[in-house]
Amino acid sequence: MLQISSSKVAQIILLAHELRMNSGELEMLTEDLSEDEHETMGRLDDEEIRSFIDDLNEEEQTDLIALAWIGRDTFGPDELDEARATVETEITRSAADYLLGMPNLSEYLESGLDAFGISANDEEDDIM
Per-residue model confidence as pLDDT tens digits over 91-111: 999 999 999 999 899 999 999
Query: Is residue 115, in this structure, part of any structural domain at all?
Result: yes
What band does 25 get if pLDDT is binned at 50, 70 and 90?
very low
Q: Which domain holds residue 100?
A: 6-127
Query: Is residue 121, in this structure, part of any structural domain at all?
Result: yes
CA distances for 42 relative to 37, 91, 94, angstroms: 9, 23, 17
Number of domains into which the chain is organized = 1
Is the pLDDT score of 118 beyond 50? yes
Q: In 10 A of CB 22, how many CB atoms? A: 14
CA distances for 71 relative to 37, 61, 63, 66, angstroms: 34, 15, 12, 9
Residue type at 74? T
C-beta of residue 115 within 8 angstroms of C-beta of residue 78: no
Is the pLDDT score of 79 beyond 60? yes
Return the pLDDT at 17.
Answer: 86
Query: Is residue 1, in this structure, part of any structural domain at all?
Result: no
What pTM did the predictor assign? Answer: 0.80
